[in-house]
């Protein structure tokens, strides 16, 4: 294997330049600061790593764990260079201070499938520097040459004399000799890896199985009150007045008060608070959104798609070529609002004491939450302390820029002398949450004499995720939200250094930011690709059909100048047996996407009954995520990602009528069941490229691949989703 991961200073410089990180500054993750010292308690201390005298190694984790495997891969990186078992490393959630901010986002944020890539060099460097200090200490204390020392299983060894010492026993020598971390350190060559690149079980897995893992909803504090909120039936509605007399007469109920989210009832248990909430008599102002409907959104967006939008990309002359074409393919794809439907619904505990506020919250976005709370309370940001437990899923919901469920807990806790926990019911989560925005994509295309796509014109219409937020300068390009277009463009756009991987000679893409409404948009696992992927990959299949070219062969030809994606597709063709005929009622579909650098492609096989019931029998997924730090983790993320995307495309749908969300729980907002999960084959391509993400990648191609497979089986195109709305029911 070549040493492109870390062996040369040039490689490290390229990685640092690519991530925007100054690896050994105070604001970068998992490094020694140059002021590492032996603390009074007998520990080597720095911002991210602590080694105690009892030989316990503790890592401060500045990335959230919500099923993404962050704790596992970070522990593996540190352990590899420290020569310890990754499962032996104790772990603490890092505090919300700038030294723990992501070097990519410059915020305390876990998102975008970048945890593995952004911590790969810094975390290993932290371990290597700690190891270098320990070796130096042993060399001086034992008066032996440094070259004669080695490390294994958390100890320094001198094989010639048989002497060895656990790391903790060397802390005194580090202090006595005033040993500082070296300026530079050599990282292991991949050929020496004993942990990285090997399948590893999840760090936090045992606790989830035996029940000892603590999620936000599990936390109980002395004297804590529980709050249940009666929320307006319409997004953006407000309380006119309320009568809480019947609720206050119930056992255990302490108080009822109006907050911005509605009326909160405080009681000594969540059950009692919830039951008392149902007894409230509230007069609501339904507000400006009382007449809003999702059908009106579709109608308005279709009308906008017929008008010129903001120009995102104009390669060649798509309009002229289409105008001169004898036969133009046209299609409009419509994608609904989607809920996140996390297993653990939103919850937060807040306690206010003087000018300080303490939060216990499962959140991806600590620095944002801290900032929002400080503004809300009018207190210094550093006076807001956030404790981060494990999270029962997020899929983007727990990175809310409004910090909605956190602020609710803070507001409910105002005036109380004890902590207050707000728990959302499943109905609240479905009806009153934030959603993947509804989108309409209008496409036109033509093929040349050989059947290859010649011209492509796409207009995307939907509510911007970023418009009006603090992300404007980075994520809004010439007034366009990059997440409305991610995966549609052939050239770099904004902060995204990659396009579709396909090359079509005449390629024009336009965008409309739909008018903002009371419906709050939120990132959904794989963000823009959740709608752009469907529109692009399904219409590409329509172009293949028009040109009489096999869909996978078309993608191979269009990616001839993109070696990584072309390789992924070539392997996929082989592994799935693409050319093997399928029987009657069966179909095969393909889709390929690039999300956050990692190319991924999937081939799907379906069986369809005459009544439209169908099964997804097999999914073959090939992914190039650079060096696979934990292959077992990659497989898990691929399986989970495609399961989430499959459920979304099969039956995910939020309907709004007269301002009210019609769905309420899993009976009418279904999630994928075990019986519906297909057989999944994951093929990870070997690579010596730096590691890139997989958390969202597999979610991106599954929806269009299934839709394309259904066409292959039945000859029917689906252009409005979910599939269940068009008579295709996943069973």
User: What is the SS3 assignment for 528-584?
Assistant: CHHHHHHHHHHHHHHHHHHHCCCHHHHHHHHCCCCHHHHHHHHHHHHHHCCCCCCCC
In-domain check, residue 429: no
3-state secondary structure of 115: helix
> Which residues of 147-251 form beta strands (DSSP E)?
149-152, 155-158, 163-166, 225-230, 238-243
Q: Are 727 and 717 in contact (CB under 8 A)?
A: no
Domain span at residue 127 reads 9-208
Mean local confidence (pLDDT), 401-414: 97
What confidence score (pLDDT) does residue 44 get?
A: 57
What confidence score (pLDDT) does residue 471 get?
A: 56
Helix 631-651 to helix 699-714 angle (10° resolution) is: 50
Nearest to 21 by CA among 72, 60, 82, 62: 62
- Is 140 in the same domain as 37? yes
What confidence score (pLDDT) does residue 355 get?
A: 97
- Is 281 in the same domain as 352? yes
- Binned at pLDDT 50, 70 and 90, residue 249 comes out as very high
In-domain check, residue 430: no
What confidence score (pLDDT) does residue 518 get?
A: 82
For 689-709, give the DSSP string. Answer: SPP---TTTTHHHHHHHHHHH
In-domain check, residue 428: no
- The rounded mean pLDDT for the chain is 92
Q: Are 127 and 80 in contact (CB under 8 A)?
A: yes
For the cut 60, the answer to whether the pLDDT of residue 40 exceeds it is no
3-state secondary structure of 604: strand
425 Cβ partners below 8 Å, 6+ apart? 228, 274, 345
Exposed/middle/buried for residue 402 (C-beta within 10 Å: 0-12, 13-18, 19+): middle
- Is 467 in the same domain as 564? yes
Instruction: Please state, for a pLDDT cut of 70, what percent of the chain lies above it.
Output: 93
What gap in Å lies between CA 364 and CA 370, rounded to an integer?
Answer: 12
What gap in Å lies between CA 79 and CA 668, rounded to an integer?
Answer: 46
Q: Are 272 and 220 in contact (CB under 8 A)?
A: no
- Is 691 in the same domain as 575? yes
- Is 193 in the same domain as 233? no
What gap in Å lies between CA 563 and CA 388, rounded to an integer?
Answer: 41
Instruction: Please state, for a pLDDT cut of 90, what percent of the chain lies above it.
Output: 88
462 Cβ partners below 8 Å, 6+ apart? 301, 437, 438, 439, 440, 484, 512, 513, 514, 531
Q: What is the pLDDT of residues 501-554, one digit of tens each?
A: 999 999 999 999 999 888 999 999 999 999 999 999 999 999 999 999 999 999
In-domain check, residue 62: yes
What are 247's two structure tokens? 């609720």
Residue where a domain stops, chosen among 208, 234, 251:
208
Quickly list H helices, 213-306. Answer: 245-248, 270-277, 294-305
What gap in Å lies between CA 454 and CA 507, rounded to an integer?
Answer: 8
- Is 204 in the same domain as 321? no
Half-sphere exposure of 50 (CA within 13 A, CB side): 19
- Binned at pLDDT 50, 70 and 90, residue 475 comes out as confident
What confidence score (pLDDT) does residue 39 get?
A: 35
More confident residue, 98 or 455: 455
Q: What is the largest CA-CA distance in the chain?
A: 85
- Is 415 in the same domain as 268? yes
What are 77's two structure tokens? 């990186």
In-domain check, residue 482: yes
- Is 31 in the same domain as 172? yes
What confidence score (pLDDT) does residue 1 get?
A: 35
- Is 123 in the same domain as 253? no
- Binned at pLDDT 50, 70 and 90, residue 41 comes out as very low
What confidence score (pLDDT) does residue 48 get?
A: 80
- Residue 684 sits at φ, ψ, to 5 deg, of -100, 120
For the cut 50, the answer to whether the pLDDT of residue 36 exceeds it is no
For the cut 80, the answer to whether the pLDDT of residue 189 exceeds it is yes
Residue where a domain stops, chosen among 157, 181, 208:
208
Of 25-39, 140-154, 185-199, 491-505, where does mean pLDDT reach its minimum?
Answer: 25-39
For residue 546, the tally of other CB atoms under 10 A from its CB is 16
In-domain check, residue 163: yes
| Whole-structure pTM value | 0.92
DSSP, res 677: P
- Binned at pLDDT 50, 70 and 90, residue 596 comes out as confident
Q: Are 344 and 729 in contact (CB under 8 A)?
A: no
What confidence score (pLDDT) does residue 8 get?
A: 33
Number of domains in the chain: 3
For the cut 80, the answer to whether the pLDDT of residue 217 exceeds it is yes
Q: What is the pLDDT of residues 309-330, one digit of tens each?
A: 999 999 999 999 999 999 999 9
What are 67's two structure tokens? 């099923």
Q: What is the pLDDT of residues 91-124, one digit of tens each?
A: 999 999 998 898 888 899 999 999 999 999 989 9
What CATH number did the domain enclosing 607 receive? 3.30.365.10
In-domain check, residue 1: no
- Is 509 in the same domain as 647? yes
Mean local confidence (pLDDT), 628-636: 98
Q: Are 70 and 115 in contact (CB under 8 A)?
A: yes
- Is 178 in the same domain as 233? no
In-domain check, residue 2: no
Residue where a domain stops, chosen among 143, 173, 208:
208
Of 28-42, 55-69, 261-275, 597-611, where does mean pLDDT reach its minimum?
Answer: 28-42
- Is 497 in the same domain as 532? yes
């Amino acid at each position: 294997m070549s040493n492109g991961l870390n062996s040369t200073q040039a490689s490290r410089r390229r990685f640092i330049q690519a991530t925007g990180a100054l690896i050994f500054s105070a604001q970068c993750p998992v490094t020694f600061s140059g002021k590492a010292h032996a603390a009074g308690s007998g520990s080597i201390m720095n911002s991210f790593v602590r080694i105690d005298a009892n030989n316990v190694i503790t890592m401060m984790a500045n990335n959230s764990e919500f099923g993404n495997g962050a704790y596992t891969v970070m522990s593996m990186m540190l352990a590899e260079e420290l020569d310890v078992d990754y499962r032996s490393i104790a772990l603490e959630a890092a505090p919300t201070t700038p030294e723990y901010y992501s070097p990519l986002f410059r915020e305390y944020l876990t998102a975008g499938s970048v945890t593995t890539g952004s911590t790969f060099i810094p975390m290993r460097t932290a371990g290597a520097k700690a190891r270098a200090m320990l070796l130096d200490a042993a060399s001086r204390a034992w008066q032996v040459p440094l070259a004669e020392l080695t490390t294994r299983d958390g100890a320094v060894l001198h094989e010639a004399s048989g002497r060895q010492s656990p790391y903790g026993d060397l802390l005194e020598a580090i202090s006595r000799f005033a040993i500082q971390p070296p300026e530079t350190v050599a990282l292991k060559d991949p050929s020496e890896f004993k942990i990285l690149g090997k399948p590893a079980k999840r760090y936090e897995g045992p606790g989830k199985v035996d029940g000892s893992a603590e999620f936000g909803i599990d936390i109980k504090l002395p004297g804590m009150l529980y709050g249940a909120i009666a929320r307006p039936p319409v997004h953006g509605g407000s309380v006119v007045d309320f009568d809480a007399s019947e609720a206050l007469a119930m056992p255990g109920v302490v108080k009822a008060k109006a907050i911005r989210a509605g009326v909160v009832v405080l009681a000594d248990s969540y059950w009692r608070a919830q039951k008392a909430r149902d007894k409230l008599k509230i007069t609501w102002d339904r507000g400006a959104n009382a007449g809003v409907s999702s059908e009106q959104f579709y109608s308005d967006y279709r009308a906008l798609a017929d008008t010129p939008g903001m120009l995102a990309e104009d390669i060649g002359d798509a309009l002229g070529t289409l105008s001169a074409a004898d036969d133009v393919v046209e299609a409009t794809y419509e994608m609904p609002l989607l809920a996140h439907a996390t297993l653990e619904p939103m919850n937060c505990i807040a306690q206010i004491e003087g000018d300080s506020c303490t939060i216990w919250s499962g959140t991806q976005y600590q620095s944002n939450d801290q900032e929002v709370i400080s503004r809300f309370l009018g207190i210094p940001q550093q006076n807001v302390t956030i404790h981060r437990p494990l999270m029962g899923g997020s899929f983007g919901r727990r990175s809310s820029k409004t910090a909605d469920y956190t602020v609710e807990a803070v507001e409910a806790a105002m005036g109380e002398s004890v902590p207050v926990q707000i728990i959302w019911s499943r109905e609240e989560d479905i009806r009153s949450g934030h959603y993947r925005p509804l989108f309409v994509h209008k496409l036109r295309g033509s093929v040349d004499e050989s059947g290859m796509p010649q011209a492509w014109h796409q207009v995307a219409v939907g509510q911007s995720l970023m418009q009006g937020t603090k992300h404007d300068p980075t994520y809004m390009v010439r007034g366009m939200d990059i997440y409305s277009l991610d995966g549609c463009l052939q050239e770099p756009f904004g902060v995204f250094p990659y396009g579709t991987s396909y090359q079509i000679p005449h390629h024009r893409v336009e965008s409309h930011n739909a008018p903002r409404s009371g419906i709050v948009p939120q990132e959904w696992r794989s963000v823009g690709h959740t709608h752009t992927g469907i529109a692009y990959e399904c219409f590409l299949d329509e172009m293949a059909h028009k040109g009489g070219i096999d869909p996978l062969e078309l993608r191979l030809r269009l990616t001839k100048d993109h070696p990584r994606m072309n390789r992924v597709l070539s392997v996929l063709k082989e592994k799935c047996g693409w050319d093997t005929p399928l029987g009657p009622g069966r179909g095969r579909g393909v889709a390929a996407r690039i999300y956050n650098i990692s190319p991924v492609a999937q081939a799907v096989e379906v069986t369809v009954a005459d009544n439209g019931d169908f099964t997804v029998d097999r999914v073959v997924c090939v992914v190039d995520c650079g060096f696979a730090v934990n292959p077992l983790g990659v497989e898990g993320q691929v399986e989970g990602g495609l399961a989430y995307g499959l459920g979304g495309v099969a039956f995910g749908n939020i309907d709004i009528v007269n301002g009210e969300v019609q769905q309420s729980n899993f009976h009418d907002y279904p999630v994928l069941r075990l019986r519906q999960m297909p057989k999944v084959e994951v093929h990870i391509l070997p690579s010596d490229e730096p590691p890139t993400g997989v958390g969202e990648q597999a979610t991106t191609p599954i929806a269009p691949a299934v839709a394309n497979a259904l066409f292959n089986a039945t000859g029917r195109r689906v252009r409005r989703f979910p599939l269940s709305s068009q008579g295709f029911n996943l069973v």
